[in-house]
Amino acid sequence: MKSGIKSEVYDKLAGIAGNVSNSEIENWQKQGGKIVGYFCPFIPEEIIIAGGFLPYKVRGTGSSDTSEADEYFDTKNCSFVRHCFNHALLGKFDFLDAMIVGTGCDHTRRIFDNWQVAPLKTKLVYLLDHPRTMGTEGMEETIISYYRAQLAKMKEYLENNFGVEITVPKLRNAIKLCNETRLFQKKLYELRKVENPPITAAEMASVLMAGASIPKEQYNEYLKTLLKDLSSVQGVKKDYQARLMIIGPAIEDPLFYSLFEENGGEIVIDDTCFGARYSMKSFIDEEAEDPLHAIAKYNVSDVPFCPKINGSHKNRIEFIDKMMKEYKVDGIIGQGYVACDPWGSSFGMLSAHMKDAGIPYLRLEREYISTETGQLSTRIQAFIETIGGRK
């Protein structure tokens, strides 16, 4: 369902989100700009931007098949990774000049190994080792320093391969730019606190996705305009039965959101990789003497809601509880991809927490791209009806 947004900027962003490539990328390249791909928010786009590159978050938009990728990955691997790699093999990411993979999970990490041997146009591929713990009390600085050292290596890799210099002022500017993005996105989220949000979850997802595919300066301008456009709009009055929060890895399939809207659910907030987890917490210190340290600290101590980070469950639950109150959430959806161990077990724990707290909770295990939606839709409908019945 559409909210009825009348905004040229929104239409533009939705168009960008709906495709893997876009005209901004083409323009960037025409002007000689280089593009660096990445998979996960633990790979700081600030460093990529400071090198003068366009950071591009790899996604499987439009993919309907993984047969090429299945020559490298088994079908027991996460479908998000397989769809993305399939796109890469089909040449859809040929515009990338380099690719940075993180050590986040057992599936994404192997993109590095497979990328090296697959016949891909983008030859430069780098593996960034990022810590998987926030650290026990007293150990945070050791963990941050290690990550900082790894970030310095990644910076050097970009500098050496592209003949650029990533200086402290450039890093500070990039931090400012990304903080600005977070701020605008946060404001967008705030619009969703009201009874009839002027932008739906699916629309919001498109706006966020587009942000990781175009130059940040341009994106921030778009966000400013969009916020202005939305401030004068009243959301379409909808007869929804439940306000929902969705939790899990990145959701990049708009069809999935529509399953909720069709069944009387309004997703008002999320805890997903490139959603609220990116925009809702804090900002990176723009004035820090050592910007690399500030970036490392932010990723180790401030935003680890991700279950790949050992010891982060408490932190995740606190965030979820806080968002539930602020956004008047009636029920929680834990959605993850088949074969994902980090989220899989996290949902087990979440389920216990929700049960104790008496909060309706629905666990959905699915594939990255929704093809068979009938059963999912039935479960969602039943869940929303249960919440409706309780109200």
Binding site for other proteins (CB under 8 A): 71-74, 76-78, 81, 103, 105-107, 109-110, 112-114, 117, 127, 129, 131-136, 138-139, 142-143, 146, 149-150, 307-308, 310-314, 317, 334, 336, 338-352, 356, 363, 365
Question: Amino acid identity of 348?
Answer: G
Provide the residue type at 38 as one letter: Y
CB 99 within 8 A of CB 43: no
Which of ligand SF4, other proteins, none does 346 bind, CB closer than 5 to 8 A by kind? Answer: other proteins
Amino acid at 343: W
Q: Kindly state the smallest distance separating residue 179's Cβ from other proteins, in Å.
A: 26
User: Residue 36 or 340: which CB sits closer to ligand SF4?
Assistant: 340
Phi, psi of 127 (to 5 degrees): -105, 115
Per-residue x/- marks for ligand SF4, 246-275, CB under 6 A? ---x--------------------------
Closest CA to 330 of 379, 380, 272, 388: 388
- Which tokens belong to 113? 């190994």
Residue with Cβ nearer other proteins (115 or 219): 115
Contact code string over 200-239 relative to ligand SF4, x by CB under 6 A: ----------------------------------------
> Residues 98, 105, 151, 201: which binds ligand SF4 (CB under 6 A)?
105
Q: What is the closest distance, in whole angstroms, from the C-beta atom of residue 126 to other proteins in the complex?
A: 12
Which 8-state DSSP code applies to residue 233? P
Structure tokens at 95: 């515009």
The vertex-309 CA angle with 304 and 315, nearest 5°, equals 45
Q: Smallest distance from the beta carbon of 230 to other proteins, in angstroms?
A: 36
Q: In the set 17, 47, 78, 214, which binds ligand SF4 (CB under 6 A)?
A: 78
Of 73, 126, 337, 361, the one binding ligand SF4 by CB under 6 A: 337
d(CA 28, CA 280): 29
Please list the alpha-helical segments (H only) found in the chain.
8-17, 23-30, 45-50, 79-89, 109-117, 140-162, 168-190, 201-211, 216-231, 254-262, 276-279, 291-297, 313-326, 341-357, 374-390
**CB closer to ligand SF4, 184 vs 368:** 368
How many other C-beta atoms are found inside a 10 Å radius of the C-beta of residue 34? 19
Contact window for ligand SF4 (CB under 6 A) among 133-141, 225-233, 236-244, 334-342: 334-342
Task: With residue 127 as reference, give the H or E element that holds it.
Answer: strand 124-128
- Residue closer to ligand SF4 by CB (options 334, 342) is 342
Q: Which residue has the tokens 């970009």?
A: 158
Count of residues in the chain: 391
Size of the site for ligand SF4 (CB under 6 A): 12
Shortest distance (Å) from residue 343 CB to ligand SF4: 5
Rounded Cα distance, 180 and 123, in Å: 32
Residue 338 contacts which entry, other proteins, ligand SF4, none (Cβ below 5-8 A, type-dependent) = other proteins
| Binding at 249: pick from ligand SF4, other proteins, none (beta carbon under 5-8 Å per type) | ligand SF4
The arrangement of strands across the sheet holding 331-337 comes to: 265-272, 242-248, 331-337, 361-366
Which helix (H) or strand (E) element contains residue 247? strand 242-248
- Quote the least distance from Cβ 84 to ligand SF4, whole Å: 9
Q: Is 354 in the site for ligand SF4 (CB under 6 A)?
A: no
Residue 80's binding partner among other proteins, ligand SF4, none (Cβ under 5 to 8 angstroms by kind) is ligand SF4
Q: Which residue has the tokens 């701020």?
A: 183
Distance CA 317, CA 312 (A): 9
Nearer to other proteins by Cβ, of 58 and 127: the residue is 127
Interacting residue ranges for ligand SF4, rule: CB under 6 A = 78, 80-81, 105, 107-108, 249, 308, 337, 340, 342-343
